Chain A
Amino acid sequence: MKASEQRELLRRMLLHRQIDTRAFQLNRQGRIPFALGGEGHEAAQAGASLAFMRGQDVLVPYYRDLGLALGIGLPVIDVFTSLFAKKADTSGGRQFPSHFSNKALGLVSISSIIAAHVAHAVGFGLAMQYRKERGRAVLCSFGDGATSQGEWHEALNFAAVMQAPVVFFCQNNGWAISVPQSKQMRINDIADRAIGYGMPGSTVDGFDPIAVYDAVHAALERARNGGGPSLIEAKCYRFLPHTSDDDDRTYRQPEEVETQRTRDPLPTFERQLIEKQIYSTDEIALLKAELYEHIDQALEEAAALENPSADSLTTNVYAGTEKAWL
């Protein structure tokens, strides 16, 4: 992989980590009611987002995809307008944080219903297929818990039958809130599910951004060229509680988290780039400072923006102004 791409991977991972950090800080300050972090997912999302072709592909994400959203071009300020629920947020302050939507970027609006979006990804893929838009594909992301849902199974089967150009990207962090993978399924590798649908499945190290990039890139290329869907499982870990409202000490040992922290992809990848002489320690320190400056500027800018008006509650229910009673 080119050095510039590797530098970009690190930049994306750092940006992701730093925004998460700020979001939790804002929550603990009482400035925002809710935050949802992706620590431990940065490498998987940076790698997958690098394989995404802007202006061509579509991303149907899930709620822990801040890094993916940023990676395909979501402006930092949009993250904070979402966190502060400002009028300028693309949902107008309606959506929960981390439910980004930006049509121009190909970033699809989702709900919080686990796996409900997977069939939508198939629909986007089939629309591309129907319009014979070769060279385009859909990247659909979800966690390990989503694969227990009937909707997920229906969508993957549907995509396989139709040979829809969709890459199903599972970020397996081992936990569905408080329930470990062992209580969700009897298999170790979620990618094993792929064979049941008749599509390729592969498992990659989700802490290795380059490995994830390679796997997702290959799968997207196959999809873009009419080769049909694939399932990729990126094994990672959730270092943080599920959300700012969760206390993970109630269901997992701190030791488990500490052990996983020793594999944290961020210092690991930093070290690798320094070893490869792609970045120096100082350059990384500077990059981190620049990113924080950019983030904090966006944060304060967003905080100062207008809140949505109460009137906006009733807009965009329908295209017109229909009420239940006409």
Chain B
Amino acid sequence: MPATLITMPQLGETVTEGTITRWLKRVGDPIAKYEAFAEVATDKVNAEIPSPTAGVLLAIHIAEGATVATGTPIAHIGDPGSDISLTPSASTLAPASPNASNTVAVIEPVAEPAPTNLRHYSPAVRRAVRASGIDPSTVRGTGTGGRVTLRDIATATTHVERIPLTRARRMIAAHMVEAKQTIPHAWTMIEVDVSGLVAKRAHDAASFVANMGFKPTYFQYFAHTVVQTLARHPMMNARFTPDAIEVFRRVDLAFAIALDGNLIVPVIANSQHMDFATFAHAMHDMTSRARSHHLAVDELHGGTITVNNTGANGSILSSPIINGGQAAIVTMEAIVKRPVVVHDAIAIRSMLNICCSIDHRVIDGDVVGGFLRDLKHHLEQLHA
């Protein structure tokens, strides 16, 4: 019986290649079904790859650090003695994408483990070390086997830190530029009195911790209310295509998380059916798994509208860029106590600004106005 051929998975819609950052198993190690056997980095995510089958890691075809096109064979898992030849088959070896030719698609033997501490510095590094007085052993090497390159020394000694673009950062940049250049953004903002929400959260906290194990966040309330409000404003949950406006029947809510200098956007699928507790749990769970790099690949797919907690650091106004394939992004700004006029008297209230960027090809001012009006209404209805 042939062994199971493992190919580089496509970790995200626009992903064409992945880098093996670490082999978690060595050839000969037993592997349970769903047990992670490798770590892969793509422009979107660092992910552990779970095994599709139980067996033994029979062969590794791609060395650590190598980047290969999606669909490239990376390993064989199966019973000892199984066939691990790389005979091409239509299903496993078809080119992953037309532009995969830029990547190394060659099957190479596993490289010798690189020396962890390369004591021999190049002449150029030695000169730079003498000139700068830096201890090269304190510099993180980015060359082969962790070799300290001249550029590493330069980076460590310069007044301007030069951060090489990671694949993820490059993709973020590309997506941002594309969204900003192709989508005619319109922007609007509304002011909401969330004094009731503040009281409600304080009131709910204890029982939430007891039942769910965490304190609810304002953002969870906010995001859930956005989902609720979308029920009467489906045009906000849509996308523009050259032929038609496509309105999504479900709300897959994307929410942005800043992580290690990267921006990742997990998606709570089918959120329109969730009560607040379920929704809050999903968001809490995804956020913590994102921080420990344990998000599953399909949790980063899709998204029909995005919310963003731009107020987390005190911002009271922002102008967000819409995610490609969506028509709107809604931000929650900081909740601040402000004197406001209530019933012709000055009162101290907890105020929240909500900003919203829309694709004006899909959404008109009237539509977003109605949506924000109802969102404001729903938020102001919340109370302890």
Instruction: Establish whether A and B are touching in the complex (CB under 8 Å).
Output: no
